[in-house]
């Protein structure tokens, strides 16, 4: 394989363990091929010129990191505006939260064009280019327009909505047409692939060929479900690390007489956190044996705080948790502990392992890696139970979890009760099957499968 060039909105130093997720996933292939990782530097320049940003190149071991600054206007229209106030809500089916402001699209195009311009001179002829996520959908089309002929693949980390929801975006046709500049488009689930296929057939008269190839707009793109996984071994080793062990032991001691339920999310409206807390309240109301016992620790780390919808959900959650603690709390027991902070990655496995129930109940999610991390962190001899939303991409793979509809508060409460009551042999059986699945389809499988398909895409 040629050199891997990864492009994503944010770039991380793959040598730093705290980088997590994508950095772990791509780090190995970037290292092996002496790769390049390109994206926004994270710096916002006040008063800079739109469509212009300084390029910084640094070496991180074998990997070159190339990042570009954004001026305030580009940041606000490309990142806050079009990416996070249009694409994120619509792709998560939240048309009610979308803000279709006319100025956003200009900034989105401008930044994608600038990225293409800055990247082009850094490219070599046999590079394999892998672009990530909704911030950069039109990047391949911009690169192609500048004469780039290398293989280019795209992976969408968030869901791809059904055609009629997609059609609410004023530029939907332009966005979907942009995908045809790629050789391969990877999506998280088969449901996403079906949505893509239906859209291009209905809206663009696409012809569906074999191997997920679709022909429309005068070109052909292969579209494939390649669900992302986690690095199970890395996570298991974190589980046995000192920080995770310490936390696990402290939690076990503190909750020796109680049963711990855990939720770990970014505080995002797609994650269904208020719905989850309501289901927990329903559990306490309908199954009173859990009072003075079941305790929900909800970690919801701050994210995108300059987008209005995120402030609203924070206030909703604070008032819900306060009300439950007021209604059900005792002098020596608080039903909900809500923590609005980031938890160090090294400690998360300890928290997951100490929990009897993991609550992963997004209203819509591309995949949701917390579901997989929860399973990887469990003690196989005495594992906790995963309650998983059927609307997470992970549900297509993790059938042995207790699948719930998060909009159904009482149904979710019943599933939590089932999880709390589940006998040890059933817990073990389910955990074993789930663990085997996340091991087989881990993050290395994801990267290999995508890059292999990309190297073969368009070959015949």
DSSP string, 433-459: HHHHHHHHT-HHHHHHHHHHHHHHTT-
x-or-dash string of contact with ligand ADQ, 332-361, rule CB under 6 A: ----------xx-x--x-------------
By CB under 6 A, the residues from 238 to 297 that bind ligand ADQ are 264-266
Note whether 191 binds ligand ADQ by CB under 6 A: no
Instruction: Pick one of 183, 373, 400, 414: the residue that binds ligand ADQ (CB under 6 A).
Output: 373
Instruction: Pick one of 157, 177, 224, 427: the residue that binds ligand ADQ (CB under 6 A).
Output: 157
Q: Are 365 and 393 in contact (CB under 8 A)?
A: yes
Residues 6+ apart with CB under 8 A from 239: 349, 350, 353, 376, 377
**Taking the alpha carbons of 326, 298, 313, 160 in that order, is the dihedral positive or negative?**
negative
Note whether 375 binds ligand ADQ by CB under 6 A: no
Instruction: Pick one of 301, 418, 455, 456: the residue that binds ligand ADQ (CB under 6 A).
Output: 301
Q: Which stretch binds ligand ADQ (CB under 6 A): 3-11, 116-124, 365-373, 428-436?
A: 365-373
DSSP string, 235-266: HHHHHTSHHHHHHHHHHHHHTTTSEEEEEEEE
Note whether 367 binds ligand ADQ by CB under 6 A: yes
Note whether 87 binds ligand ADQ by CB under 6 A: no
> In this complex, which beta carbon is closest to ligand ADQ, that of residue 88 or of residue 199?
88
- 21-26: long-range contacts at Cβ-Cβ below 8 A with a sequence spacing of 24 or more? 21/369, 22/132, 24/231, 24/234, 24/443, 25/228, 25/231, 25/443, 25/446, 25/447, 26/130, 26/447
Instruction: Pick one of 228, 363, 375, 415: the residue that binds ligand ADQ (CB under 6 A).
Output: 228
Task: Provide the minimum distance between the beta carbon of 28 and ligand ADQ in the complex, in angstroms, as a whole number.
Answer: 16
Task: Provide the minimum distance between the beta carbon of 264 and ligand ADQ in the complex, in angstroms, as a whole number.
Answer: 5
Residue 325 phi, psi dihedral angles, 5° rounding: -65, -35
Task: Provide the minimum distance between the beta carbon of 90 and ligand ADQ in the complex, in angstroms, as a whole number.
Answer: 14
Note whether 30 binds ligand ADQ by CB under 6 A: no
Strands 213-216 and 207-208, bridge-based pairing: antiparallel
Residue ranges that bind ligand ADQ, judged by CB under 6 A: 20-21, 157-158, 228, 264-266, 299, 301, 342-343, 345, 348, 365-370, 373
């Amino acid at each position: 394989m040629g050199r891997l060039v990864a492009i994503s909105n944010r770039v991380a130093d793959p040598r730093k363990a705290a980088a997590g997720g994508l950095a772990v996933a791509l780090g190995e292939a970037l290292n092996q091929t002496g790769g390049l990782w390109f994206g926004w530097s994270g710096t916002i320049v006040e008063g800079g010129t739109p469509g212009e940003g300084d390029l910084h190149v640094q070496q991180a071991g074998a990997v070159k990191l190339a990042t570009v600054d954004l001026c305030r206007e580009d940041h606000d229209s490309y990142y806050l505006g079009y990416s996070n106030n249009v694409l994120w809500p619509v792709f998560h089916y939240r048309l009610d939260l979308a803000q279709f402001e006319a100025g956003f699209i200009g900034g989105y195009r401008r930044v994608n064009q600038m990225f293409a311009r800055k990247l082009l001179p850094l490219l070599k002829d046999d590079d394999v280019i892998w672009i990530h996520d909704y911030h950069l959908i039109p990047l391949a089309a911009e690169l192609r327009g500048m004469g780039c002929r290398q293989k280019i693949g795209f992976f969408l980390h968030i869901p791809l909505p059904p055609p009629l929801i997609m059609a609410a975006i004023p530029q939907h046709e332009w966005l979907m047409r942009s995908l045809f500049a790629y050789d391969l488009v990877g999506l998280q689930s088969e449901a996403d692939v079906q949505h893509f296929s239906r859209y291009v057939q209905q809206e663009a008269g696409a012809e569906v060929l074999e191997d997920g190839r679709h022909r429309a707009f005068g070109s052909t793109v292969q579209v494939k479900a390649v669900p992302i996984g986690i690095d199970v071994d890395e996570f298991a080793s974190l589980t046995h690390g000192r920080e995770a062990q310490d936390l696990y032991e402290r939690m076990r001691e503190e909750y020796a007489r109680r049963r711990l339920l855990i939720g770990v999310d970014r505080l995002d409206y797609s994650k269904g956190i208020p719905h989850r807390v309501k289901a927990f309240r329903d559990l306490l109301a309908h199954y009173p044996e859990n009072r003075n016992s079941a305790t929900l620790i909800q970690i919801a780390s701050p994210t995108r705080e300059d987008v209005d919808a995120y402030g609203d959900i924070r206030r909703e959650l604070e008032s819900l948790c306060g009300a439950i603690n007021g209604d059900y709390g005792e002098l020596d027991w608080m039903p909900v502990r809500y923590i609005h902070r980031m938890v160090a990655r090294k400690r998360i496995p300890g928290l997951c392992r100490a929990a009897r129930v993991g609550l992963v109940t997004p209203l819509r999610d591309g995949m949701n890696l917390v579901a997989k991390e929860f399973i990887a962190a469990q003690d196989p001899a005495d594992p906790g139970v995963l309650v998983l939303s059927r609307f997470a991409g992970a549900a297509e793979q993790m059938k042995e979890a207790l699948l719930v509809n998060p909009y159904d508060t009482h149904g979710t409460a019943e599933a939590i009760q089932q999880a709390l009551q589940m006998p040890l042999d059933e817990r073990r059986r389910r955990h074993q099957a789930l663990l085997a699945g996340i091991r087989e389809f881990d993050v290395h499988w994801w990267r290999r499968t995508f890059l292999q398909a990309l190297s073969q895409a368009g070959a015949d």
